[in-house]
Amino acid sequence: MAGDSVPVRFSVSTWQQPIPDSASPERDALVQAIAERVLSLGKGRLLVGIDGFTASGKTSFGHELAAHISRSGRQVLRVSLDDFKKPWRDRHLYDRESGDGYYRNAFDYTAAQRLLLKPCQPNGSGQVALCGIDPLTQIDHSSTVTQAATDAVLIVDGVFAFRPEINEYWDLRIWLNVTPEISIQRGRARDEDSLGSEAEVVHRDRYGVAESIYLQEVDPMRLADVVVDNSDFAHPRIME
């Protein structure tokens, strides 16, 4: 992919994960192949959704994909759906802590559409907010606007990205496949510093239950254009 590399534009959210180092030439080749597939979709604005279980590697994969696409000279915008959750101050109004409650109530899909997805469509204004409510500080960043170029590529990662509320917006859907047990193990390791002994309980009884409901109601894997087995970071493989 020839072109002058353009810096990736990231959300202002404090909920940030580091850009991963290269895990292997094999992984680099797979991500590059998917980047080329994205670019083959056309020269207008493109929206890419990356879905999968919690801790399946969605954010890291999104960062890697963004880096490859930016080398083509296209503007890349990086967003996580975690930055479009409902504010904690309203949590007394609904259940967000059970598995069913988390699945049905945690995310603000109306805000994601209004602030990000609709304006980033080819016929949209291009005035996009890359963050709604910061999930850590709870600061509202919805008025912080970035101008999406006419050929911008928006890469959004997040659980439940293929839900009916927002599935229609994606030009390419990527599902990162891991088993529920791998999801729980990785999530526990990632979050034990902040959640302590509760990390496994949260991942098993909240996120795991929510994802089980998602599988039953939406069957997101069937909606994906690309399915990547991401069980082994150094040796991912395209499943379909």
> Three-class SS string for 42-103?
CCCCEEEEEEECCCCCHHHHHHHHHHHHHCCCCCEEEEEHHHHECCHHHHHHCCCCCHHHHH
Mean pLDDT of the chain: 94
Q: Quick one: average pLDDT of 96-110? A: 96
- Statement: residue 2 has pLDDT above 80: no
pLDDT band at 3 (very low <50, low <70, confident <90, very high): low
Domains of the chain: 9-231 (3.40.50.300)
Token pair in block for residue 126: 């291009």
Say if residue 18 is exposed, middle or buried (CB neighbours under 10 Å; 0-12, 13-18, 19+): exposed
**C-alpha span between 151 and 138 (Å, rounded):** 31
Q: List, for residues 184-212, the tens digit of each pLDDT value.
A: 888 788 877 777 878 787 888 899 999 99
Q: Please list the residues that pair with 182 across neighbouring strands.
A: none
Report the SS3 class of residue 41.
coil
Mean pLDDT, rounded, for 132-159: 97
- Segments in the chain forming alpha helices (H): 25-39, 58-70, 99-105, 109-112, 118-120, 180-195, 199-201, 208-218
Q: Region 6-32: what's the mean pLDDT?
A: 93
Beta pairing class for 46-52 and 145-147: unpaired
